[in-house]
Amino acid sequence: MRHITQLSNQIRIVTQEFKDRESASIGVWVAAGGRYETGDNKGVAHFLEHIAFKGSAKYTCDEIKQLVEGVGGNLNAFTAEEETCYYAKVPASHWKKTFDILADITFFPKITPKDLEKERAVILEEIKMYHDLPQYYVGELLEELLWPDHPLGQSLAGTAKTVGTMSTAHLKDFKRTHYLPANTVISACGSMKHEELVALVTAKLGKLSGSINSSYIPARRTQEKSTVHLYHKQTEQMHLALGYLAYETNHKDYYVLALLSIILGGNMSSRLFNEVREKRGLAYSVSSGIKSLNDTGVFMIRAGVDNSKIVAALDLILKVLAKISAGGVQEDEFKRAQEYYMGQFLLGLEDTMDQMLWMGSGVISNDKVKSMSDVIKKIKAVTRADIKRVAKEILNPQSLNLAIIGPMSDAQQKQLRSLASVD
């Protein structure tokens, strides 16, 4: 049974009780992420997430780790564009103490100058590591093309300059501005009682206050010309990321695009996998996916390609996209995509952690959790005509954004730009 309660200070609590599970997963979500940052403090949300684990008002750094890991659990956190989440999965008998730890590090971190310097060094190394991983860095280059001069087009970790000048004042100011009860969701799943969690949250966080005055810069929804970033680097393999601006989370065609993504590159039965890898051997890996935010989204294709085959691979990928836009999909692949989506969706909610993440992300972004039946109903309502219509709308050559990392020759660069219709 799923329950949602809102406290008087607007903290929302959502739970899904599974009496037969041995585990419990808990997340403390805050609607504060990378897109809420300005140029000067880029990376502050991620920095704050890091430093929270260095110690809080009630727990030392060692206690935070030992009290969770010492009972066989694990804890972590992530920073995204629109939210930050501190979470843990533990044996169900330890969920109350785990909640207290997560709540304490989220809302009462110490943020000392000594810890800031330690984490500054760690994050700077993290930024270097990402730049050394072309399969990751190519995604950042793509986002810069999709959202130029916008927080969404900048690294969540920040830059060497912004992280290098980050101060305790920056972290405390960001926390004071965004870590507010109305921005907070507590999500939990497993062998636990909703009313018991509500009581714990009330006692721990019920006196928090503060009105929301934070906002973010709206993202663009359209573009008039394709863009390309070719990044020369000596690698053993070319890394390609191709993307189109797409739908926001609540768009009416969200599930149409999700099925289109599966048909094109969602699994080993997909068109791109069969055409690019299986039939032609042009890439070791090729896949597609979607990401949706409150006011924008992206449909993307990623591939790892032999250095000598990058032009042929891109040419074939673009032909596959053009073909589905012009000719639509076959009945059998359409049905397979529907069944695959529904099967993956149901399997993905079997674990308490997956359920917790599903519920928390739903409430933090939409103030509700979509039911399984509602999702399945929407997937079943999609038609083949919808797929063709959305493919033509999204996969517009003028809206193409292409990022490639690798040791490209001048001839290859010229051919790649020509394929992407860039002058």
The CATH architecture assigned to 2-205 reads 2-Layer Sandwich (3.30)
Q: What is the pLDDT of residue 422?
A: 58
Q: What is the pLDDT of residue 116?
A: 97
CATH topology of domain 227-419: Cytochrome Bc1 Complex; Chain A, domain 1 (3.30.830)
Would you call 306 helix, strand, or coil by DSSP? coil
Indicate if the pLDDT at residue 40 is higher than 70: yes
**How many beta carbons lie within 10 A of that of residue 213, not counting itself?**
8
Q: What is the pLDDT of residue 139?
A: 97
Q: How many helices (H) and strands (E) does the chain have?
A: 16, 11
Per-residue pLDDT of 255-308, as tens digits, reads 999 999 999 999 999 999 999 999 999 999 999 999 999 999 999 999 999 999
Every domain of the chain with CATH number 3.30.830.10 lies at: 2-205, 227-419
> Using CA of residue 245, residue 249, residue 251, residue 252, what is the dihedral sign?
positive
**Percent of the chain scored above 90 by pLDDT?**
93
Indicate if the pLDDT at residue 423 is higher than 60: no
Indicate if the pLDDT at residue 363 is higher than 70: yes
Per-residue pLDDT of 223-267, as tens digits, reads 989 999 999 999 999 999 999 999 999 999 999 999 999 999 999
Is residue 278 part of the annotated active site? The answer reads no
Output b/e per residue, 284-318; b: 16+ Cβ within 10 A.
eebbbbbebbbbbbbbbbbbbbbeebbbbbbebbb
Taking the model in full, what pTM does it have? 0.94
> Binning pLDDT at 50, 70 and 90, where does residue 348 land?
confident
**Percent of the chain scored above 70 by pLDDT?**
99
Q: What is the pLDDT of residue 303?
A: 97
Q: What is the pLDDT of residue 210?
A: 84
> Among the residues of 89-223, which ranges form H helices?
95-107, 113-132, 134-146, 160-164, 168-178, 194-205
φ, ψ of residue 299 to 5 degrees: the values are -105, 125
Give dist(CA 301, CA 285) in Å, integer.
Answer: 10
The tokens for 84 are 């930050």
Given 49, 83, 143, 144, which residue is catalytic?
49
Q: Give me the chain's average pLDDT, please.
A: 95
Q: What is the pLDDT of residue 136?
A: 95
Indicate if the pLDDT at residue 131 is higher than 80: yes
Within 8 A by CB and 6+ apart from 146, the residues are 152, 153, 243, 245, 298, 401
The arithmetic mean of pLDDT across residues 54-78, rounded, is 97
The arithmetic mean of pLDDT across residues 205-209, rounded, is 95
Q: What is the pLDDT of residue 141?
A: 98
N-term to C-term CA, the chain = 57
292, β-bridge pairs: 297
The tokens for 156 are 């969540």
349, β-bridge pairs: none
Conformation bin of residue 111: beta by default, left when phi > 0, alpha when psi is -120 to 50: left
Per-residue pLDDT of 70-86, as tens digits, reads 999 999 999 999 999 99
